Amino acid sequence: MTTTLLTLIRHGFTDWNQTKRAQGLAPIPLNAQGLAQARHLADAMANGEAIHAIYSSDLSRCVQTAAPVAAVFGLEVRLDPAFREYDLGFWQGLSGQEMQDYDPEHYARRKADPWHVPFPGGESRAMLSARVVAGLDAVLARHPGQHVVVVTHSGPVHAALRHLGVWPPSQDGPAVLNTSRSVVRVDEDGRAEAVLIADISHLPADLVS
């Protein structure tokens, strides 16, 4: 039976991660810590399973994370907007407290039902999941029996792992930290088995974020 190996990677650390600003679709680059994380990630993956293709969200923080991994294997990074982070609409760039202060009623409704209630002017969890799942299904169909990497954001990592049945239906689970790796084996019938979830063993302690 054909088995595809899927590695999902969250992008490296940014200044907005540092200040706890919601990045959404903002083109925020990696900072020095994030670039160092990406180098450690690439070094670790060079000693692992061969990679046949690497896809990335087209947002700069993901492209910068994917680039050193792709270079190790002589691959081109394939950009796919399906793997972008949540569209946060009017709340992009705000802290959690600022979101709550901006519109307490909408904040409470979204917190109670994030699956159906979108960010104002942006996406709900259902909307995010629909586009991520469509992108993921297309990638898996394109690379049967291969090892494919997708560099993305925490929201899409959650959505992909929920779709594959290796993450709780809610958002609960281990923290998906910067440059963490989640590795899943997917057979030709769509059955999935988790190999690693949110692993950061490639990072020295001073780079964990």
Phi, psi (degrees; rounded to nearest 5) at 5: -100, 125
The three-state secondary structure class of 12 is coil
Other CB atoms within 10 A of residue 205 CB:
6
Query: What's the CA gap between 77 and 196, in Å, rounded?
Result: 23
Whether the pLDDT of residue 49 is over 70: the answer is yes
**Residues 51-78 pLDDT 10s:** 999 999 999 999 999 999 999 999 999 9
Which domains are present in the chain?
Answer: 7-54+62-140+163-182+195-207 (3.40.50.1240)
Q: How far apart are CA 54 and CA 5, in angstroms?
A: 12
Residues above pLDDT 90, as percent of the chain: 93
Contact 192, 186 (CB under 8 A): yes
**Length of the chain counted residue by residue:** 209
Among residues 186, 209, 189, 154, the alpha carbon closest in space to that of 37 is found at: 209
The predicted-structure confidence for 139-182, as pLDDT tens digits, reads as follows 999 999 999 999 999 999 999 999 999 987 766 678 999 999 99
Note whether 148 and 4 are within 8 A (CB): yes
Q: Write out the catalytic residue numbers.
A: 11, 85
Cβ–Cβ < 8 Å for 4, 144: yes
Q: How far apart are CA 165 and CA 193, in angstroms?
A: 8
Task: Report yes or no: 13 and 203 within 8 Å, Cβ to Cβ.
Answer: no
Tokens of 106: 């909408």
What is residue 170's predicted lDDT score, i.e. its pLDDT? 67
Token digits for 197? 């979830």
The pTM score is: 0.96
> What secondary structure does DSSP assign to 145-195, as a single string?
TSEEEEEE-HHHHHHHHHHHT-S-SSS-SS---TT-EEEEEEETTS-EEEE
CA 105 from chain centre, in angstroms, equals 29
pLDDT at 38: 98
